[in-house]
């Protein structure tokens, strides 16, 4: 850089002495960059002046980005919250609606298949009942359920249909519905013990041990094998 | 906020400028008023957003210039004046596209400073930014103050140079640097002229 660059402002604003001016112009003839600076002085100054504009625009850009960032991070938090919620719901669903490994074992150990009870009904109703029980035994619960629901409207088969419906609900883990149906059957002598037993099982599945113990006390133990009773007592301890 | 205080903040330091710009940027009252003005007179949201940003740029440019250090009054009406004038100029530029709204057409644009160049084209601004970005940050600060009328003594004091002479030397080096760039890139110089 020519030392005369320090005189540039003074030259442009006519603040140099006549001798200095001559020296500067001489230097300008020898240095084309200095000459270029003189010729482009207004542009150089204008560009330098626009540095404040450039800085301001940059600051505004930063502010815009800052405003966008929270939006994005908020969106990210929403996604995270949604993911956690879905995960939590899945966990709850798994814990409540589907049996935990412990509940699976409990169910396998204590569940007793329904015993067909003698019911009186019309021939066609009896045939339908037989078909429904057959479907139930082959674990076609979805197909059996509407048939039992239909039979539950028949006075003579109402209890039997409700009994199987209660078992269907229990086997499909609809514990509250199953409990209600068994509760309804509890008043009938034929189904009382079965209903109490399975309500006890439901209470255990719902981790209501006190309720299970209470129901166990009401059971007529003579109708169960000793092995079965020991299993139950194991879970009630 | 008084205009005098705002101008003082603009001139104090980069940190203070940043704080003031953020304060205006987040001022809902000013923003809403400017948006209402633009939208009431046929502008779109993006026009209002553009004018709002340009208003801040124009204000900072004006406040940073030593020739305007004696501005008085309140900041908010001053900003509204800038916004109104910028929009007036923009409407004039787009006269075939946007009919001048009544609220603007009866305004005279001489009650507040009028922008010389209201909107740099995106390409031109990008080019300008690229050129200025080549300067080191201390050069940017020195040249920015020099070109906006600060004396060498003020520059030395503000930017921490030991003497006025040191500030002058730095300014000369930085100006030579910018001059070299334009000398070597005459096509860019032509575009910027």
pLDDT tens digit string along B29-57? 999 999 999 988 888 888 899 899 999 99
**R_g over Cα of chain B:** 19
State residue A76's pLDDT score: 74
Are the Cβ atoms of B144 and A45 closer than 8 angstroms? Answer: no
State residue A69's pLDDT score: 55
State residue B115's pLDDT score: 43
State residue A226's pLDDT score: 84
Residue of A nearest to B149 (CA): A49
Are the Cβ atoms of A36 and B182 closer than 8 angstroms? Answer: yes
For A76, the token pair is 């990210």
Residues of chain A found within 8 Å of residue B192, distances taken between Cβ atoms = 43, 47
Of B22, B128, B178, the CB nearest to A63: B22
Secondary structure class of B45 (helix, strand, coil): helix
CA distance B19 to chain A (A): 10
> In this predicted structure, which of A175-184, B91-100, B160-169 has the lowest mean pLDDT?
B91-100
Chain-wide mean pLDDT for chain B? 82
pTM of the model: 0.56
State residue B113's pLDDT score: 44
State residue B17's pLDDT score: 93
**pLDDT single digits (tens) A89-111:** 777 766 555 556 578 888 888 99
Closest residue by Cα to residue A1 from B131, B143, B173: B173
Chain-wide mean pLDDT for chain A? 85
State residue A118's pLDDT score: 62
Cβ atoms of residues A159 and A168 within 8 Å: no
Cβ atoms of residues B69 and B11 within 8 Å: yes
pLDDT value at B119 more than 60: no
State residue B107's pLDDT score: 38
CA distance A79 to chain B (A): 27
State residue A140's pLDDT score: 87
State residue B118's pLDDT score: 44
pLDDT cut 70: percent of chain A above it: 88
State residue B138's pLDDT score: 85
Residues of chain A found within 8 Å of residue B57, distances taken between Cβ atoms = 53, 56-57, 60
Residue of A nearest to B18 (CA): A59
State residue A39's pLDDT score: 92
Q: How far is CA A104 from the centre of its chain?
A: 23
Mean pLDDT of B128-152: 87
Fill in the DSSP letter of residue B44.
-
State residue B97's pLDDT score: 53
- Chain B interface, mutation test: which of A48, A60, A70, most B Cβ atoms within 10 Å? A48
Are the Cβ atoms of B176 and A1 closer than 8 angstroms? Answer: yes
Are the Cβ atoms of B17 and A56 closer than 8 angstroms? Answer: yes
Mean pLDDT of B78-85: 92
Q: What angle do CA B15, B20, B22 make, to 5 degrees?
A: 95
CA distance B169 to chain A (A): 7
User: How long is chain B?
Assistant: 193
In whole angstroms, give the CA distance from residue B163 to residue B185: 33
For A109, the token pair is 């150990």
pLDDT value at B110 more than 50: no
State residue B81's pLDDT score: 92
Q: What is the ipTM of this complex?
A: 0.84
Mean pLDDT of A211-231: 87
pLDDT higher for B67 or B95? B67
CA distance B144 to chain A (A): 5
Are the Cβ atoms of B172 and A59 closer than 8 angstroms? Answer: no
pLDDT value at A181 more than 80: yes
> In this predicted structure, which of A6-10, A22-26, A108-112, B135-139 has the lowest mean pLDDT?
B135-139
For B155, the token pair is 């520059």
Give the torsion through C-alpha atoms of A70, A71, A73, A76, to 10 deg: 170
CA distance B116 to chain A (A): 12
If phi over 0 gives left and psi between -120 and 50 gives alpha, with beta otherwise, what is residue A140? beta
**pLDDT single digits (tens) B1-12:** 888 889 989 998
How many other C-beta atoms can be found within 10 angstroms of the C-beta atom of residue A169? 21
- Measured CB to CB, residues of chain B less than 8 Å from chain A are 14, 17-18, 21-22, 25, 53, 56-57, 60-61, 64-65, 125, 128-129, 131-133, 135, 140, 143-144, 146-148, 168-169, 172-173, 175-176, 178-180, 182-183, 189, 192-193
**pLDDT single digits (tens) A48-92:** 998 999 899 989 988 888 766 555 666 777 788 888 888 887 777
- Return the bridge partners of B74, or none: B2
pLDDT cut 90: percent of chain A above it: 31
State residue A196's pLDDT score: 92
pLDDT higher for B98 or A143? A143
Residue contacts between A and B (CB atoms, under 8 Å)? 99
pLDDT higher for B112 or B67? B67
Confidence of residue A120 (pLDDT cuts 50, 70, 90): low
């Amino acid at each position: 850089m020519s030392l005369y660059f320090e005189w540039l402002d003074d030259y442009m604003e006519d603040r140099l002495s006549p001798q200095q001016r001559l020296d500067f112009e001489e230097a300008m003839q020898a240095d084309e960059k200095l000459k270029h600076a003189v010729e482009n002085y207004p542009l150089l100054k204008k560009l330098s002046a626009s540095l404040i504009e450039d800085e301001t625009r940059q600051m505004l850009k930063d502010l815009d980005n800052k405003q966008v960032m929270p939006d994005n991070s908020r969106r990210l938090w929403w996604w995270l919250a949604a993911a956690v919620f879905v995960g939590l719901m899945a966990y709850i669903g798994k814990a409540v609606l589907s049996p935990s490994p412990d509940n699976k074992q409990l169910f396998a150990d204590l569940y007793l298949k329904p015993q067909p009870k003698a019911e009186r009904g019309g021939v066609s109703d009896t045939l339908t009942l037989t078909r429904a029980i057959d479907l139930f035994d082959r674990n076609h619960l979805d197909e059996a359920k509407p048939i039992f629901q239909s039979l539950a409207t028949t006075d003579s088969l109402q209890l039997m249909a409700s009994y199987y419906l209660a078992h269907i609900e229990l086997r499909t883990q609809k514990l509250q519905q199953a409990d209600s149906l068994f509760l309804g059957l509890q008043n009938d002598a034929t189904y009382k013990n079965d209903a109490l037993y399975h309500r006890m099982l439901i209470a255990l599945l719902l981790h209501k041990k006190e309720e299970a113990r209470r129901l166990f006390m009401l059971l007529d133990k003579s109708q169960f094998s000793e092995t079965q009773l020991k299993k139950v007592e194991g879970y009630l301890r | 906020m008084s205009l005098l205080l705002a101008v003082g903040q603009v001139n104090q330091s980069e940190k203070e400028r940043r704080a003031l710009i953020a304060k205006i940027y987040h001022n809902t009252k000013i923003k809403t008023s400017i948006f209402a003005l633009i939208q009431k007179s046929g502008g779109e949201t993006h026009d209002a957003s553009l004018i709002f940003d340009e208003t801040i740029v124009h204000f900072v440019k004006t406040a940073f210039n030593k020739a305007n250090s004696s501005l008085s009054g309140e900041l908010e009406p001053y900003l509204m004046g800038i916004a109104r004038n910028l929009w007036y100029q923009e409407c004039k530029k787009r006269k075939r596209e946007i009919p001048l709204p009544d609220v603007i057409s009866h305004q005279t644009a001489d009650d507040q400073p009028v922008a010389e160049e209201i909107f740099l084209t995106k390409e031109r601004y990008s080019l300008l930014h690229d050129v200025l970005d080549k300067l080191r940050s201390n050069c940017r600060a020195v040249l920015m103050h020099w070109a906006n009328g600060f004396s060498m003594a003020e520059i030395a004091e503000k930017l921490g140079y030991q003497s006025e002479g040191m500030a002058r030397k730095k300014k000369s080096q930085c100006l030579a640097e910018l001059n070299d760039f334009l000398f070597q890139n005459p096509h860019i110089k032509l575009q910027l002229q």
